[in-house]
C-alpha cells in the first residue's frame, strides 16, 4: 500500500500577525510539516521572512520546519537558517553558482537537503544530485506568491522525478508546491507526489476550517 501523503501548510497564507498561533492551529488540524517560504525581493519579487522569525516560531511547532529558500545568493544564509531551527533546507539550482556544493553544505549542517525545480527548469537538473538530496520539490507555479493557478504541464515533471527516485533506490521525498487544491492534489499524487505544500487551500476559511481543509487534500 502506498504511504499516506504528507501535508505541509505554507505559512505564507497564514495571518502574519499571529504566526505562532497559526502554526499551533495547523498542527492540531493534522499538518505533517510546516512549510516556510523565504523570499528576498531579488530571486523572487516578494519579500517574506528571515532567520529571526524562523527562530521565534520554532518553539510553537512540534513538526519539522520545511524551509523553502527563494533567495540569491543562498550560501551565505544556510547556517543562519539551520541555527534558527530549520529541519530541511530546499534550494533552487539558480540561486547560487554551485548547487552540488550547496546541497553538501546543508547535509554538513545536519539538515535534510532539498532541491527545487521551477516550472521552466528541466528535470535533468536533478540528474547529478540524487545522492545529495532528501527531497525533490517540483514547483507547480512560478515562485513568489501564494494563490496562483497550478501549471498542469508540471505533472509530467512530477512523474519524471518519481521515476528517477525509484531508479535511484533512495528514500527521497517528492514534494509539490503551488496551486494545490483537493482537485490538483489528486493529479499530483497520481503522478507520484508524496508531500503536498498548500497555502491558500489550508488557510482559507479560518482556523475552524483547517482540519477539514487538510483532510480534503489527502483525497
Q: Which residues bind ligand DX5 (CB under 6 A)?
A: 10, 12-13, 35, 37, 68, 141, 143-144, 146-148, 177-180, 197-201
Is the CB of 45 or the CB of 104 nearer to ligand DX5?
Answer: 45
Is the CB of 69 or the CB of 191 nearer to Zn ion?
Answer: 69
Is 157 near Zn ion (CB under 5 A)? no
Total length of the chain: 219
Is the CB of 94 or the CB of 169 nearer to ligand DX5?
Answer: 94
Do 160 and 153 touch, CB atoms closer than 8 A? no
Burial class (CB in 10 A: 0-12, 13-18, 19+), 52: exposed
State the catalytic residue, choosing from 32, 66, 134, 177. 177
Instruction: For the chain, state the CA radius of gyration.
Output: 16
Is 162 near Zn ion (CB under 5 A)? no
State the catalytic residue, choosing from 37, 66, 134, 194. 37
Is the CB of 32 or the CB of 37 nearer to Zn ion?
Answer: 37
Is 177 near Zn ion (CB under 5 A)? yes
Q: Tell me which residue has its CB nearest to ligand DX5.
A: 199
Residue 114 binds which entry of Zn ion, ligand DX5, none, with Cβ cut-offs from 5 to 8 Å by kind? none
Do 89 and 78 touch, CB atoms closer than 8 A? yes
Q: Tell me which residue has its CB nearest to Zn ion.
A: 68
37 is catalytic: yes
Is the CB of 101 or the CB of 144 nearer to ligand DX5?
Answer: 144
- Give the angle 215-70-181 at the CA atoms, nearest 5°: 20
Burial class (CB in 10 A: 0-12, 13-18, 19+), 59: exposed
User: Would you state the cell numbers that stand for residue 149, as one nine-digit string?
Assistant: 493557478
- Angle at which helices 182-191 and 155-168 cross, to 10°: 40
Where helices occur in the chain by DSSP H, the ranges are: 19-28, 51-57, 78-84, 99-108, 155-168, 182-191, 200-203, 210-218
Residue 148 binds which entry of Zn ion, ligand DX5, none, with Cβ cut-offs from 5 to 8 Å by kind? ligand DX5
CB of 39 to ligand DX5, least distance (A): 7
15 is catalytic: no
Side-chain half-sphere CA neighbours of 119 within 13 A:
16
CB of 137 to Zn ion, least distance (A): 8
Q: Which residues are known to be catalytic?
A: 37, 177
Q: Which residues bind Zn ion (CB under 5 A)?
A: 37, 68, 177
Amino acid at each position: 500500500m502506498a504511504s499516506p501523503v504528507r501535508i505541509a501548510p505554507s505559512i505564507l497564507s497564514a495571518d502574519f500577525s499571529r504566526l505562532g498561533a497559526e502554526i499551533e492551529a495547523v498542527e492540531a488540524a493534522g499538518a505533517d510539516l510546516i512549510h516556510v517560504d523565504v523570499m528576498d525581493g531579488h530571486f523572487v519579487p516578494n519579500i517574506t521572512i528571515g532567520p529571526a522569525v524562523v527562530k521565534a516560531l520554532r518553539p510553537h511547532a512540534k513538526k519539522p520546519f520545511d524551509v523553502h529558500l527563494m533567495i540569491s545568493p543562498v550560501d551565505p544564509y544556510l547556517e543562519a537558517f539551520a541555527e534558527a531551527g530549520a529541519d530541511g533546507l530546499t534550494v533552487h539550482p539558480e540561486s547560487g553558482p554551485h548547487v552540488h556544493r550547496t546541497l553538501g553544505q546543508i547535509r554538513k549542517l545536519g539538515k535534510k537537503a532539498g532541491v527545487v525545480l521551477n516550472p521552466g527548469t528541466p528535470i535533468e537538473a536533478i540528474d547529478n544530485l540524487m545522492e545529495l538530496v532528501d527531497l525533490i520539490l517540483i514547483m507547480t507555479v512560478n515562485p513568489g506568491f501564494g494563490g496562483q493557478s497550478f501549471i498542469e504541464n508540471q505533472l509530467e515533471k512530477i512523474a519524471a522525478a518519481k521515476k528517477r527516485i525509484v531508479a535511484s533506490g533512495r528514500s527521497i521525498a517528492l514534494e509539490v508546491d503551488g496551486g494545490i487544491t483537493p482537485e490538483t492534489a489528486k493529479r499530483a499524487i497520481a503522478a507520484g507526489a508524496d508531500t503536498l505544500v498548500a497555502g491558500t487551500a489550508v488557510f482559507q476559511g479560518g482556523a475552524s476550517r483547517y482540519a477539514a481543509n487538510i483532510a480534503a487534500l489527502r483525497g
